[in-house]
Structure 1
Amino acid sequence: MHSSLARLTVGCDDAPTLVLLHGITSSAVSQADAINHWARRGYRVIAVDSRGHGLSPSWERSQLERAGEQLVDDALDLLTDLDTQARGRVALGLTAAPAPIVLGHSMGGATAMVAAIRRPELVSGLILEDPSLYGTRSPSELLARGAARKRALDAELANPAGAVLRALASATMPESEALPSVWASQRVDPKLLRTGVVAPEVPWREALAALTVPTLLLSGDQPGSARLGATGLEEARSLGNPLITPVLIKGAGHLIRRSRRRDFYAAVEPWIERVLGPAPAA
């Protein structure tokens, strides 16, 4: 099986592997700073364009009718492909990396959760960066948010030069991600935005409670930006799942890696080493 999603792979085939799943309107290359960060530390990094994003296929009508499940199917196709590759290396007497850790932001985080529930043997662990929270908004609210994203995208498409200048001027945007981020937003399939779907249809508390793999759950406390926040992290802790490690990054917004870069890596790096072991020197 080979995933239909476009992917960007950096690093050796036998190195500990990190799979990056982005949020809505993003892409693989708009995580360039993260890819470089992990590759320099010796990890194999596989950054994926979600369906309808970047260079991946656009959405077909039948897929949109089950968009949340399609996101999970796509992630599982990718992870199954990586597992098949690893088994092939072992069969040839070569060293194979353990199952990857999946780092998912927002939509990517919600997708990673459900994929790991369905096929836990395909991952070594999850890092959920302020995941989308299915069940917190009504269908009409989701549609309204999707329409708002579409309007914002239309405004950006009308003035791409202005969008690039704003990205370059942002205090939190890594320079290497400014142009790719504008490009990514221009590549989004508007059909997905109009559905309002940003997560599989599994209530987030139910998903967290069902996880059977080590999970680092991150959120910030920036009002109006962070989805979980301190309250959501406390709810996650109250579920009693010992495999979940909730961490609050103070001052962080929804995209923690950009808004509090040093604090993000300070929380994530030692956790990855505990789960996968240290990566070899790059």
Structure 2
Amino acid sequence: MRLHVRGWGSGARTALLVHGMMSDHRSWRRVGPWLARRGYRVLAVDLRGHGRSPRGPGTAPAERYLPELFAGDLVDTLPTGADLALGHSLGGLALSLAVDRLRPRRAVYSDPAWCIPGPGRGLDPAGFAWFRTAAREQIAALNPRWEQTDVDIELATLALWDPDTGGGLAGVAGRALLPERPAVPSLVQLADPSFMIGPEHAAELARRGFEVRTVAGAGHTIHRDDLPGFLSSLDGWV
């Protein structure tokens, strides 16, 4: 499936940005221009079921929104051999399943959804649908460090989001989906604390050859919660 793509810049280097669940390319509103100023041509997708990209075809969520389908869409849409590929949350999971085909020079996984908590652990992907009707006050309360513009964008992206994406991921909730090895030089950037990657899994990723950095005090959407911390943690990778 071909995805909607938003671009910034026209530099000689290429950066790919992949957002998380319930969001779209607008999540990168400050990161995209920042990379463009550093000489990148930046390409940010809307995943299937998000933003201006198509919904997943089929009937049941599990047919429409499997992790492998998100990954396949990236391969169908994005160029191979980019200088940098960066995926957040669901975007990090999708990127990790596509990275051996996209073959960027470097990959950054920002609090990737490699260990999605299941029911009874504080998060149920199939229950994400309530976010579709969340009020501004609820979004702001859940994300107290976000700028008002990001709250506005979240409300706009939720209106376009297909909540069946959560149901499609329910089958992998509670399972560890850690990559066996980095297909390319890779940084794993973690929130503090991360509800996706706990300390044991972080240590295991380091043993498998990933560089692991934590952004102190940042929430799950690190680039919206603490942009300076997010950018600082990319030192040496962009």
Q: Smaller-chain TM-score range?
A: 0.7 to 0.9
| Conserved 8 A contact 1:100-1:125 | yes
Mapped to 2, the partners of 1:45 and 1:200 lie a distance apart of 31
> How far apart are 1:179 and its partner, in Å?
2.0
> How far apart are 1:211 and its partner, in Å?
2.3
Show the counterpart of 2:202. 233
> How far apart are 1:22 and its partner, in Å?
0.6
| Conserved 8 A contact 1:53-1:187 | yes
Show the counterpart of 2:27. 30
| Conserved 8 A contact 2:9-2:39 | yes
Show the counterpart of 1:5. 3
> How far apart are 1:131 and its partner, in Å?
0.3
Match of 1:191 among 153, 164, 185: 164
User: Using a 3 Å threshold, how does the CA distance of structure 1 residues 202 and 46 change in structure 2: closer, same or farther?
Assistant: farther
1:259 equivalenced with 2:230 (yes/no)? no
1:128 equivalenced with 2:112 (yes/no)? no
| Conserved 8 A contact 2:67-2:93 | no
Mapped to 1, the partners of 2:87 and 2:183 lie a distance apart of 17
Identity of aligned residues (%): 26
| Conserved 8 A contact 1:221-1:229 | no
User: Using a 3 Å threshold, how does the CA distance of structure 1 residues 56 and 73 change in structure 2: closer, same or farther?
Assistant: same
User: Using a 3 Å threshold, how does the CA distance of structure 1 residues 269 and 28 change in structure 2: closer, same or farther?
Assistant: same
Show the counterpart of 2:36. 39
1:151 equivalenced with 2:134 (yes/no)? no
> How far apart are 1:64 and its partner, in Å?
4.0
Show the counterpart of 1:275. none
Match of 1:213 among 184, 207, 212: 184
| Conserved 8 A contact 1:220-1:229 | no
> Which structure's residues are more often helix, by fraction?
1
Mapped to 2, the partners of 1:133 and 1:5 lie a distance apart of 23
Counterpart mapping for 1:1-282 below 5 A: 4-12=2-10, 15-61=12-58, 64-65=62-63, 67-79=66-78, 82-83=79-80, 99-117=82-100, 119=101, 122-134=103-115, 137=117, 145-154=124-133, 156=134, 159=135, 162=137, 166=140, 171-197=144-170, 203-205=176-178, 207=179, 209-222=180-193, 225-239=194-208, 241=209, 244-272=210-238
Which consecutive segments of 4 or more residues in structure 1 shift more than 6 A? 198-202
Structure 1 letter corresponding to 2:216: K
Gaps of 5+ in 1: 84-97, 273-282
| Conserved 8 A contact 1:219-1:230 | no
Describe the SS at the equivalent of 2:187.
strand
Mapped to 2, the partners of 1:99 and 1:175 lie a distance apart of 32
User: Using a 3 Å threshold, how does the CA distance of structure 1 residues 254 and 212 change in structure 2: closer, same or farther?
Assistant: same
Q: State TM-score, norm by structure 1.
A: 0.72
User: How many equivalent pairs are there?
Assistant: 235
Q: Which is greater in Rg?
A: 1
- Give a deviation string over 1:189-219, Cα, whole Å, max 9, x none: 12223334597999423x1x23220101111
> How far apart are 1:246 and its partner, in Å?
1.0
| Conserved 8 A contact 1:24-1:107 | yes
Q: State TM-score, norm by structure 2.
A: 0.84
User: Using a 3 Å threshold, how does the CA distance of structure 1 residues 197 and 34 change in structure 2: closer, same or farther?
Assistant: farther
